[in-house]
Amino acid sequence: MNKNVPSRYSIIRKLTSLDSHINVNKKSAAVSHPSNMKEVKEKVHGTFYVVFISLLLDLLAFTMILPLLPSLLDHYRENDTTGLYSWLSRQVYFFQKMVGAPDKFNSVLFGGFLGSMFSFLQFVTSPIIGGISDVVGRKIVMLVCMVGISFSYVLWALSNNLVLFILARILGGISKGNVSISMAIITDVSTINTRGKGMALVGIAFSLGFIVGPMIGAIFAVWAKQKTGNWFVVPALFALMLSIADVIYFAIFFKESLPKEKRAKHFAATLDHAKTLINVKDLFQFTAVKNIKSQDLKELRRLGLIYFVYLFIYSGLEFTLTFLTHHVFNYTSMQQGWMFFAIGLTMAIIQGAFVRRVPPHKTRSTGILGLWIIIPSFISVGLATGPLLLYFGLFLYAVSTAMVVPSITTLASQHGTEQQKGTVMGIFRSLGALARALGPIVASIAFWGVGSKITYLIGSIFLFWPVLALKDKV
């Protein structure tokens, strides 16, 4: 997708060219170039850029914790004043001795629960929050979410014990409906021709957030460790500062995108739709998609299952990656920050130079290639005992990640009418959230019980099913 908005002068040149062509042969121009003329005249809505900056501020703050989580849980193991960490460790002591898991791997297990809990809360609340915004408007609901996120960073900054940190993650998960509302805003103000550019800006915000955010968190954590015992306070306060800036910016610059006359009249209808995005059976059956050909519905269900299975396995192995590098390779927070930076930069390059240029008829083959690449990626990471094989596996991981999800979601978007696209994408987002709610805890239990090598190798074996299923067309 083209990420650049045409300049005023390029538009003038195109219009001038079209005008001269029309003067030469008006009838031919009218037949040959109506779509081009419309594309030249149609500009993206200014709200796109407001959403982009708001999401970027949010994601920079959100991703700061990624390289810090293993060190944070190690910190609470040593310094938790409530005794919750010790109590949790005693609860798993019997199974820990049974499988021979070392004490330090308990943080992997507890981290998996926290990661899954955060994603599960997103899975439940995002459709409900989106439904409420359909009735009362986007702005007020978005601001409430942003304030909730800000308070979660306040709790993180104050979390000198594990209880407060868990409460911070719970509040953050409940409030994280801002991403789905951002997608709804893009839909509100876009046309068929400009929606792709709006979604591209969302993708750029995610890429930049995951490239820069972890580095910011690691830099502040390293600096704070030299100054204070509660080293996590400085990253948390900086995340809070970014989130407050986001609230102020959005309150000032965002103009309501859903006018009153276009809003849903009753909560019952919108919440009923939200219920279909939470009900697991309805989700996999694509019940919310109405009046669709049986062949298209069958293909959507198959793509949804492929997407879920892939993300379930992928998100689990992805989540445990920071614990692998922390416990097995003794990475510091700073080294983990550089790791996320390299992964994010590689993804951005692949998406910008290759994925966005893939023609529609090659979308499926691109997704299949990405799914093939992720298998040797996780094998390499699982078997790595030194940096060379680890870096090779992480490079393949970044390349695959840049290819798979865009390809599968693009394939899904080809089914259903234009009015159904939002529903189809909403179901896919919910399937992704559910997969990310289940994957981390399953992978963390496996990591804790049988170790990283077996976990990654078993995961890579199960990843054969999505690629073979995608190759088999309906």
**284, 308 in Cβ contact below 8 A?**
yes
Tens place of pLDDT per residue across the chain (474 aa): 444 434 433 433 343 343 444 343 444 444 444 444 444 456 767 888 899 999 999 999 999 998 888 888 888 888 888 888 888 888 877 776 666 666 677 788 888 888 889 889 988 888 888 888 888 888 999 999 999 999 999 999 999 899 999 999 999 999 988 888 888 888 788 776 776 677 777 777 888 888 888 888 888 888 877 766 678 888 999 999 999 999 999 999 999 888 888 887 777 777 777 787 888 888 898 888 877 888 888 989 999 999 999 999 998 888 888 888 888 888 888 888 888 888 888 888 887 788 777 888 888 899 999 999 999 999 999 999 888 999 999 999 999 988 888 888 888 877 776 656 667 877 888 888 899 999 999 998 888 888 889 999 999 999 999 999 998 765
**What is residue 1's predicted lDDT score, i.e. its pLDDT?**
42
Domain harbouring 313, CATH code: 1.20.1250.20
**431 belongs to a structural domain:** yes
**243 belongs to a structural domain:** yes
CA distance from start to end of the chain: 27
**DSSP code per residue over 56-97:** HHHHHHHGGGGGGHHHHHHHHHHH-SSSHHHHHHHHTHHHHH
**185, 257 in Cβ contact below 8 A?**
yes
CA 319 to chain centre: 13
Q: Work out how many domains the chain is built from and give that number.
A: 1
**271 belongs to a structural domain:** no
- In which domain, by residue range, is 459 found? 44-83+104-256+292-471
Residue with tokens 């390779």: 329
Q: How far apart are CA 460 and CA 140, in angstroms?
A: 44
**97 belongs to a structural domain:** no
**258, 138 in Cβ contact below 8 A?**
yes
Q: How many CB atoms lie within 10 A of CB 159?
A: 23
Q: List alpha helices for 257-362, DSSP H.
A: 267-278, 280-285, 294-327, 333-353
Which uninterrupted H or E stretch holds 11? Answer: helix 8-24
Token readout for 38 is 């419309």
Q: Which amino acid is at 400?
A: S
**154 belongs to a structural domain:** yes
**89 belongs to a structural domain:** no
**312 belongs to a structural domain:** yes
**194 belongs to a structural domain:** yes
- Closest residue by Cα to residue 370 from 405, 345, 318: 405
Q: How many CB atoms lie within 10 A of CB 210?
A: 21
Residue with tokens 């459709």: 127
